[in-house]
Structure 1
């Protein structure tokens, strides 16, 4: 049984709350549920103490509503200044650039992720094909013969690709590479790819005025989350909680 300032949280409430806290184990789900209910009770009690909108049964009309009222009454949350937004823009240019464009061709040597032998064979074959390409063999010829991708009918060409158009593990490698034949095959969930990048067009940095609102919203939300975590922390420290032990250094609410 958990008590928060002498108010009990029944076990059945914790069990009912578990559906909202998926976890790797039942124990983890129960701990997350208990933590959520303890915090909700602390907020409810504080709202009632301050005379906020609590109904006759002692439950808040909406936890989010009275949390907002508590924050408005007890927490000062600063907003990002123009200078802070400009500084964030200058320090994080990659976040505000349009995607580069790649024009490339590939040969897909298919191998399932869990087929170790097939993947080893694909790596060996990719080395052999790269060697042939380095010696002048046509990419189109090898693609038509070896590739498991429909692009083999167009010489292995994938046309122009921007970020987000292919799987992440393939994308990470090709967008960090320079034009030309890649010296090693790239592994993906589909197998091993032999890749030739014909052209790379760098992305363009978006102007500050186009992203200022986005930056401001991001920074304001980051500050707000920190303020909420600190406020909850103060309620936990001041409370008499039995049956549940907050590990403040590990709780994601206090990060």
Structure 2
């Protein structure tokens, strides 16, 4: 399944936090439901949830997504496929139950939110043709995709109002988690965050062309050394995809970059700009944002992420308990 198709197919799934019981590797995800099942009117119904049909085609779409996200899309055994189909059916059932409950609440500007969600999905593709191709490959109609987006927003709003907004994590809870898991989750390898400006070269270049590339890099270095904004120069001049982010490469550890680049990065101090560095990709000008030695992450550094994690766990458990309650009251019929 290619990247473009995933962008559309993901609009049919309950991603993937509500499926703790499904047994498909890689099925854990953030607690909010990203995009929910649209009960299509396909003739091949496999299950009714309080009278609403779930189609075989929808099960197969979500199943393919699960397998793709689990990294097991190639050479799938019949047993794995069966587990995936059952997991998909369970997620679609959960989504339908949640939607039926969530539809009772009033959501301000719902139509505008749906339009925005659809526009964001369209924006993932380079043009209308690519979007239409991905939509066709997913097996969805545009109308089905829009209905999915609407259900997604309704379910997420319901979860936020009923569960997320009411959950709190105390400092004592966060500290306890940190103390119990220091050696498991809070060991930091040496890492750095840097930006760069790249003047690309390739092996086909003649020596004089390569020299011109070096001279261009030297000229760019002069500009940033004299005070021109590094990110702005990177955005306008760099040949790396990171140019759109002002050259920001994010955080990385040793062994993740080519040797000349890595050495230059870890020799710098935060805020410093390197001289021109040559690698197999071309000529780099590097600016170090921050650098961390190997060691334990302090509680203060980790607190925000710990609180977010513990809150998500509380919400997940509350939602799953609520889902169990809905299932116990629902009329669910296999066809």
Query: TM-score, normalised on structure 2?
Result: 0.37
Query: TM-score, normalised on structure 1?
Result: 0.47
